[in-house]
Amino acid sequence: MLNFILLILIYTGIYALMAIGQNLITGYVGLLSLTQAGFFAIGSYVTAILSVTYGIDFWITIPLAAIVAGFFGLVIGLPTLRLKGDYLAIATLGFGEIVRNILNNWDKVTNGPMGIQRIPMISVFGVRVSPYEKWGFLVLVWLFVLVGYLLFERLAKSRIGRALEAIREDEIAASSMGINTTRYKVWAFVFGAAIAGVAGSLQAEFILSVTPGAFTFMVSIMVLCMVVLGGMGNFKAVILGAFLIQFISYFPQLVGLSNVIPPQFKQVLFGLILVIMMIWRPQGILGREKRNAPGSFFRKGGRS
Amino acid sequence: MKKVFAVIMIVALASTMAVFAAGGKEAAPSSVKVGFIGPMTGDYANYGDLISKGVLLAIEEKNATGGIAGKVKVELIIEDSEGDPQKGLAGIEKLSSSDKIVALTGPVFTGVSFAVGQRVQDEGIMMVTPSGTHKDITAIGDYVFRTVASDGLQGEVSGHYFYEKLGVRELGVLYVKNDYSQGLYEGTKESFESRGGKVTIAETAQIGDKDFKTQLTKIRAAAPDAIYIPNYTAEMAQILEQATQLGLKIPFLSSDGFSNPEIYDLAGAYTNGVVYVGPTQVAESAPYKKFVADYTKKWGFAPDSFATNAYDGAYILFDALEKVYAATGKFDRKAVRDAFAATTDFPGITGTINFAENGDLVAYQGVYKVEGKTPKYVGTFTVVDGALVEIK
Amino acid sequence: MGSSAEFFQHLMNGMTLGGIYALIALGYTMVYGILKFINFAHGDILMVGSYIGLFTFDAIRGQTLGPWTIVAFFIAMLAGMLFSAGLGMAIERIAYKPLRKATRLAPLLSAIGVSFILSNMAAWMWGTKSRKLEYPFDNTPLHIGGVSITPHQILILIVVIVMMVSLKLFVDKSRIGKAMRATSLDQDTAKLMGIKADRIIAITFAIGSALAATAGFLIALEIKVYPSMGTMTGLKAFVAAVVGGIGNISGAMLGGILLGLLETFGVALLGIPYGLRDTIAFVALIIILLVKPEGLLGKVEKEKV
């Protein structure tokens, strides 16, 4: 039982990293991006390929995973971030599918649908952090979450963060005040992608294998739900959101009901919660962080 | 007001479930728990459903006789993998730590089998997959078994048989980019070309595709001697139907996915003339016929070869459990694994079952030719030292 | 590319694939045009409609093909359409209407929730097996100069054209159609002008959902009926609608056909592996959105300050 709870907490941590990135993109800048699955996959495969094919140590692959994912964030962000609302959503969703498509077809590098197995485990100063001994892995994952949280929270509180919020509230006003909106948007996207890459890297180390089938657009949607359910623009809230979604997903198993109820019930319940939540409390459980920073000035402005 | 109501509903629902769970958790030494992991929801839910029902049938039959040693009931705990290794791992964690299973049947597909296999190996729980065909799965360790032939063998027999017995020299292939289909394609191509044949055109499709006309049009233009379609049932039905629509007159060759009788509902008369390589002579044996009848009666649809493998796997497991219980009076995970590995000449419904040193099924392959809508058994084959051998 | 026969075969294949996208895109584009959100549940409404149609058809059709099977086919299609229309209206009322004033994200997520509920309820109630919808007519292909064309392909292309033309007439000429356009342009102003916007939206949903059922039922002849049948095709159809210019009926048709042809010829002419077909669709989408963000036939919307 304990092992199972620890596993849920590990998954929560991995998804919390992605949700933190999504929060910067969606919660702060207000961009409806649906592509975290793509960056997650890229991070996973960077670690898998480098460590299995080239024998490179995990601690070197993880910054590379972040960089490669961030780079793709730049590549996809530069052209698509000019798009608005749903158009951006569908274009980014498309990008996620392209990533999965390529992973599935580029047999020489990714081993296609067979995926990559036997990823070497992480070691810290010669001590193996095995995914089987859950406490160690849990601590490791949540250290990453803590670092990610502090970095992104700091970023959001800085001048950059206020500029991002300004863009969300009124892009035209923001740009007329001299904010280079495109540049800020792209940067938010790159950071959001990079942290999802880190999450992917950890995921690869936990599962010890990667297959393209695990990175469907459902992953992106889950991450978006975590952000919305927790509360947009609030990093603590999205971590809570990540926990809640994971908890709901594994609830039937946790209480020993997964064998009794029809397997579809869990998904139906999830759908119901989503609909009810949107009607009842669309701002999320904790809602947006309130503060009197100058950024809130823009909130009074008209909506476009 | 409505919102408050909704919240109350959810809380009520959740607490009912918690109560249920607490109620169901009595310690029962009179039963032994076995796990199953497979896709119960999502695109491949059909496979999880078919296969889990093979195991369930075996367990119900066993319990009807009183269970292990006539008194210990076998209980199956099914966990949904959604075809995703992450969910599969959660499943095995729950089965291992909450349910304390002694053995695992499944997982269903290769990707999840790799993730779960490494976990059970570490945890010391034996698993037996009825359908994970990737040749490297059993290489994970000594706790991993399967009651399905590996891609390696099926590919080898297919390649040799197509070349030698059917006289195919130029082969066209249409496979789906998933582990099963691609594994068979690669195995078959290797052995077919080792004999001097040539795969002149190999077209791919995406998981979930239903339209294959573009690929078939290209294959039609390339005009190979035969087209090999190692796919899942629903896809093969689409391919056969669309090939007829395109006026394709080239014979089709297929794999064990064709052993699912659903193909005859979906593709009807288009199945005529297809030659496929699959599990051995099952159509011939009386126990097999009884299984198909019982399964069909109970669930309302017929089993495929994977469900049949799962049923056999369950009975081999019962056999191991019986031995361990008779010797020790309890069910130790390692003892169960050892007893399972020691299985020799088990009389399964798919024939006599033995395991190789690495946990692979010692298997032969059956060749079938469909006449009208009925598969006719051609013979049993295997490959020894690079040569096709017929087993009489 | 071998011969001209092969070329025309690919052309025909691409046209029907595109026709299928166009059929679904028509419903998508109507709903999007008026409410401006991606109705993720559209593909699932399509699936439910196909199941209802399939059950009806199996219940009333005889064993032999004949004029009656064709009549029965259209009765079954109508049943599926009516059920879907009701379902669509109910979903709109329960899951989307309360969110009219919320952020744009709320209805999107709500729609995803609805999609989850529908597809899993269907799997639960009706099982996950593919079910075959029998052809109501003899589908033996015609061979014209080495090109095979099935009656089903012709039917799809005819239905697409009939539906597009009648929809266009309906939206352009009828009173309800005009009210729809007004509501789509500006809901608040439309209300001030005496248009019952809520009713118009409900009607749009009903029509869009009925169109989805029609599309689903027609393509089910070829792809069978199963719980996830609408998901990926629905997504591609939305891509087609965006490419053509969302909210634009001719655009949906153009986008659908274009997408079908692109996927077919991308593989046939350019030698792209078929496994990468979705990549072709999405790359085309991104390029078109960049060059012409409003889609091929869409109107430029000036951003209001």
* Class (C level, CATH) for C4-131+144-291: mainly alpha
Nearest CA in chain C to B244: C141
Given CATH 3.40.50.300, say whether it is the number of domain B152-278+365-391.
Answer: no
Judge residue B251's burial from the number of C-beta atoms within 10 Å of its C-beta, 0-12 exposed, 13-18 middle, 19 or more buried: middle
- Judged against a pLDDT cut of 60, whether residue C217 lies above it is answered with yes
Report the gap between the CA of B267 and the closest CA in chain C (Å). 9
What is the C-alpha to C-alpha distance for residues C201 and C195, in angstroms, rounded to an integer?
Answer: 11
Mean pLDDT of A40-64: 96
Q: What percent of chain C has pLDDT over 70?
A: 97
For position A296, what pLDDT does the model report?
37
> Could you give the ipTM of this predicted complex?
0.86
Mean pLDDT of A179-183: 81
For position C67, what pLDDT does the model report?
86
For position B25, what pLDDT does the model report?
43
What is the C-alpha to C-alpha distance for residues A216 and A160, in angstroms, rounded to an integer?
Answer: 32
For position B22, what pLDDT does the model report?
46
What is the C-alpha to C-alpha distance for residues A129 and A132, in angstroms, rounded to an integer?
Answer: 8
What is the C-alpha to C-alpha distance for residues C102 and A283, in angstroms, rounded to an integer?
Answer: 9
Amino acid in the structure at residue B252: F
- Estimate to the nearest angstrom the gap between the alpha carbon of C75 and the chain centroid: 20
In this complex, which of C102, C275, C285 lies closest to A94 when CB atoms are compared?
C285
In this complex, which of C38, C115, C279 lies closest to A101 when CB atoms are compared?
C279
CATH of domain B30-149+286-353: 3.40.50.2300
- Judged against a pLDDT cut of 90, whether residue C209 lies above it is answered with yes
Mean pLDDT of B87-112: 90
Amino acid in the structure at residue A275: V
Mean pLDDT of B341-346: 91
What is the C-alpha to C-alpha distance for residues B27 and B30, in angstroms, rounded to an integer?
Answer: 9
Domain ranges of chain A: 2-288
For position A293, what pLDDT does the model report?
43
Q: What percent of chain C has pLDDT over 90?
A: 37
Report the gap between the CA of A251 and the closest CA in chain C (Å). 17
How many beta-carbon contacts under 8 Å exist across B and C?
87
Nearest CA in chain C to A79: C290
Average pLDDT of chain C, as a whole number: 87
pLDDT confidence tier of residue C125, bands split at 50, 70 and 90 = very high
- Estimate to the nearest angstrom the gap between the alpha carbon of A86 and the chain centroid: 19
What is the C-alpha to C-alpha distance for residues C171 and C183, in angstroms, rounded to an integer?
Answer: 12
For position B20, what pLDDT does the model report?
46
| Highest mean pLDDT of the ranges A192-196, B80-84, B114-118 | A192-196
For position A30, what pLDDT does the model report?
86
For position C256, what pLDDT does the model report?
93
Nearest CA in chain C to A270: C113
pLDDT confidence tier of residue C305, bands split at 50, 70 and 90 = very low
- Judged against a pLDDT cut of 50, whether residue A301 lies above it is answered with no
Q: What percent of chain A has pLDDT over 70?
A: 95
- Answer yes or no: same fold for B30-149+286-353 and B152-278+365-391: yes
The reply to whether residue A105 touches residue B122, judged by beta carbons under 8 angstroms, is no
Q: A256 or A20: whose pLDDT is higher?
A: A20
For position C147, what pLDDT does the model report?
87
CATH of domain A2-288: 1.10.3470
For position B212, what pLDDT does the model report?
92
* pLDDT tens-digit map of C43-90: 999 999 999 999 999 999 877 888 889 999 999 999 999 999 999 999
Residues 16-75 of chain A whose Cβ lies under 8 A from any Cβ of chain B = none
Picking from A179-188, A197-206, C46-55, C160-169, which range would have the lowest pLDDT averaged per residue?
A179-188
For position B80, what pLDDT does the model report?
92
For position B310, what pLDDT does the model report?
94
For position B103, what pLDDT does the model report?
95
Average pLDDT of chain B, as a whole number: 87
Picking from A89-103, B152-166, C261-275, which range would have the lowest pLDDT averaged per residue?
C261-275
pLDDT confidence tier of residue B51, bands split at 50, 70 and 90 = very high
Mean pLDDT of B40-61: 91
Half-sphere exposure of A249 (CA within 13 A, CB side): 28
The reply to whether residue B210 touches residue C274, judged by beta carbons under 8 angstroms, is no
Average pLDDT of chain A, as a whole number: 87
Closest C-alpha among A120, A141, A140, A116 to residue A45: A116
Instruction: Give the best residue of B84, B203, B206 to mutate against chain A (max A CB count within 10 A).
Output: B84
- Judged against a pLDDT cut of 70, whether residue C14 lies above it is answered with yes
pLDDT confidence tier of residue A194, bands split at 50, 70 and 90 = very high
Domain ranges of chain B: 30-149+286-353, 152-278+365-391
pLDDT confidence tier of residue A275, bands split at 50, 70 and 90 = very high
- Judged against a pLDDT cut of 70, whether residue B7 lies above it is answered with no
* pLDDT tens-digit map of B363-385: 888 899 999 888 898 988 988 88
What is the C-alpha to C-alpha distance for residues A251 and B13, in angstroms, rounded to an integer?
Answer: 12
Closest C-alpha among B359, B338, B306 to residue B54: B306
pLDDT confidence tier of residue B259, bands split at 50, 70 and 90 = confident
Picking from A135-139, A161-165, B227-231, B262-266, which range would have the lowest pLDDT averaged per residue?
A161-165
Q: What Rg do the C-alpha atoms of chain C give, in angstroms?
A: 19
Residues 89-128 of chain B whose Cβ lies under 8 A from any Cβ of chain C = none
| Highest mean pLDDT of the ranges B263-267, C7-11, C90-94 | C90-94
Report the gap between the CA of C60 and the closest CA in chain A (Å). 31
**Which residues of chain A make contact with C117, given a CB cutoff of 8 A?**
267-268, 271-272, 275
Picking from A32-36, B241-245, B293-297, C268-272, which range would have the lowest pLDDT averaged per residue?
C268-272
| Rounded (5°) CA angle B263-B268-B270 | 95
pTM for the model stands at 0.90
- Judged against a pLDDT cut of 70, whether residue A36 lies above it is answered with yes
In this complex, which of B205, B217, B234 lies closest to C130 when CB atoms are compared?
B234
For position C2, what pLDDT does the model report?
54
Report the gap between the CA of B88 and the closest CA in chain C (Å). 19
